[in-house]
Every structure is written in structure tokens, then in C-alpha cells.
């Protein structure tokens, strides 16, 4: 069973629907026991880092995610959920993340030419820096996925498995052992996105 962490941030409709579509057994939960019983955990998130980090702390669910990750359970952070896996973010101040991945989350606009728009919104091509990684086993070099974000993970070369070009090499997917993340939205990235979710869930690809 896959648990989607519900900690009061963002809309989980599409993520839940996409998992139903690929035939994965998933539950949306804010309950620590259910989370502990899950084989795999998905940490979603949209909005501001500080607000989300505070909610993860306040609900105690952040600690549960960290504990389960350290016990070897697969964890996939999506968008802000991926950023929260890192050590810290510099989104409006400095805020601690869950520390499951090493690196920082920083303002994209500070690192790209002024002519490029922020947020980075739209379909961008993936460059697979570690194409052999199981999360990317159904993905090909150049496949496009859907991004919506203004901050991005950096100083994390060791865990980066895919990037996208947007004035700078944007960290698109990360993995360190059983802890994984996508900056883009697999649940909004059509066939490619569904296949990434299938890979996370241990399912075969479909066209």
C-alpha cells in the first residue's frame, strides 16, 4: 500500500486519481499509524516552503516520514514535497527541511537570465544524468514533464538523477537510496509522468 501524506498542503485530487489510474493501491492519510504501515510514501506539496515545513512539524508527520525513510521505506517527494526532503531552503528566509537529502533550495530567479520568466512553468525536457536509476527506467532522454516552481534544489549533485535546462541546470529528479523526489509533477505529465509513478510503485510501463 502507498500512502500519500495529507498534511493540509495543496490539492491531492490529481495525485490520488493518477495512482488509481495506474492501478496502485493508495491511501491519502494524515494518520501516523497508517503512514507507518505503508510500503511506500509519497510526500506531495504546493505553496510556500516555510508554511509546509511548519505543518509537517506541527502534525508530527515530518518525523514519521523521516523515521520510515531511515527504516528503508521508499519515499517520493513531489514538487515542494521534494524540496522539503532537503536540508534547508532559502525561500523567504532560511528554513530547515527534513534533511533526508543533502543540498539547498534556492531562488531560481537569482540564478537565471532576467529575460526568463519565473515561475518556471510548462513542459520541459529531461536530461537523465543517471538513466540507469530505477525511478527513470521507463523514461527516455528528452522526454518532457510538467514543471511549476520558483525555487529549486542546488548543491545536490550527488543525488541528482535528472535535470532540465532553464537558464541553469534545474534539478528535476533526485534519489539517494530509498529517498527520491521529482521537482516536476508526474501526476500532470501525461504518459511519461504516469510511467514514473509506475516505476516508483514497482509497476511495468504502459503506453
Partner 1 sequence: MITKRIIPCLDVKDGRVVKGVNFLGLHDVSDPVKLAQYYSDNGADELVFYDITASHEERALFTDILTRVAETIFIPLTVGGGINTLADFDRVLKCGADKVSVNSGAIRDRALIGAAAKRYGDQCVVLSVDAKRVDGRFRVFARGGREDTGLDAIEWIRRGVGDGAGEIVLNSIDTDGVKRGFDLEMLDAVCQAVNVPVVASGGAGGAADFVALFQTLPKVDAGLAASIFHFGEVTIPALKAALAENGIPVRR
Measured CA to CA, the distance from residue 112 to residue 137 in angstroms comes to 30
Are the CB atoms for 145 and 128 separated by under 8 Å? Answer: no
196: closest CA among 120, 134, 148, 115?
A: 134
Measured CA to CA, the distance from residue 88 to residue 98 in angstroms comes to 8
Q: Looking at residue 126, what DSSP letter applies?
A: -
Measured CA to CA, the distance from residue 22 to residue 13 in angstroms comes to 15
Q: Is 194 in the site for partner 1 (CB under 8 A)?
A: yes
Binding letters toward partner 1, positions 88-127, x by CB under 8 A: -----------------------------x-xxxxxxx--
Beta carbon nearer to partner 1, 34 or 109:
109
- Near partner 1 by CB under 8 A: residue from 111, 188, 203, 205: 188
Are the CB atoms for 173 and 180 separated by under 8 Å? Answer: yes
- Catalytic (active-site) positions: 79, 185, 187
Beta carbon nearer to partner 1, 67 or 191:
191
98: closest CA among 181, 11, 187, 4?
A: 181
Output the smallest distance, CB 194 to partner 1, in A.
Answer: 6
Beta carbon nearer to partner 1, 159 or 189:
189
- Near partner 1 by CB under 8 A: residue from 1, 8, 13, 58: 13
Output the smallest distance, CB 190 to partner 1, in A.
Answer: 5
Are the CB atoms for 95 and 53 separated by under 8 Å? Answer: yes
Residues making up the chain, counted from first to last: 207
Binding letters toward partner 1, positions 36-75, x by CB under 8 A: ----------xx----------------------------
Residues that bind partner 1 (CB under 8 A): 11, 13-14, 17-18, 20-21, 46-47, 117, 119-125, 144, 146, 148, 165-166, 187-190, 193-194
Amino acid at each position: 500500500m502507498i500512502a500519500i501524506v495529507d498534511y493540509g498542503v495543496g490539492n491531492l485530487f490529481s495525485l490520488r486519481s493518477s495512482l488509481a489510474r495506474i492501478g496502485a493501491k493508495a491511501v491519502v492519510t494524515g494518520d501516523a499509524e497508517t503512514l507507518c504501515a505503508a510500503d511506500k510514501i509519497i510526500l506531495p506539496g504546493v505553496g510556500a516552503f516555510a508554511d509546509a515545513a511548519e505543518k509537517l512539524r506541527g502534525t508530527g508527520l515530518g518525523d514519521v516520514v523521516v523515521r520510515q525513510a531511515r527504516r528503508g521505506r521508499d519515499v517520493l517527494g513531489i514538487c515542494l514535497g521534494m524540496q522539503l526532503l532537503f536540508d534547508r531552503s532559502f525561500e523567504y528566509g532560511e528554513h530547515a527541511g527534513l534533511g533526508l537529502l543533502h543540498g539547498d533550495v534556492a531562488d531560481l530567479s537569482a540564478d537565471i537570465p532576467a529575460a526568463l520568466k519565473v515561475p518556471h512553468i510548462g513542459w520541459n525536457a529531461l536530461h537523465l544524468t543517471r538513466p540507469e536509476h530505477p525511478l527513470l527506467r521507463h523514461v527516455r532522454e528528452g522526454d518532457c514533464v510538467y514543471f511549476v516552481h520558483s525555487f529549486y534544489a542546488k548543491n545536490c549533485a550527488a543525488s541528482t538523477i535528472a535535470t532540465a535546462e532553464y537558464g541553469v541546470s534545474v534539478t528535476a529528479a533526485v534519489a539517494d537510496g530509498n529517498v527520491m523526489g521529482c521537482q516536476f509533477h508526474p501526476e500532470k505529465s501525461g504518459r511519461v509522468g504516469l510511467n514514473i509513478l509506475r516505476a516508483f510503485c514497482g509497476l511495468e510501463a504502459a503506453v
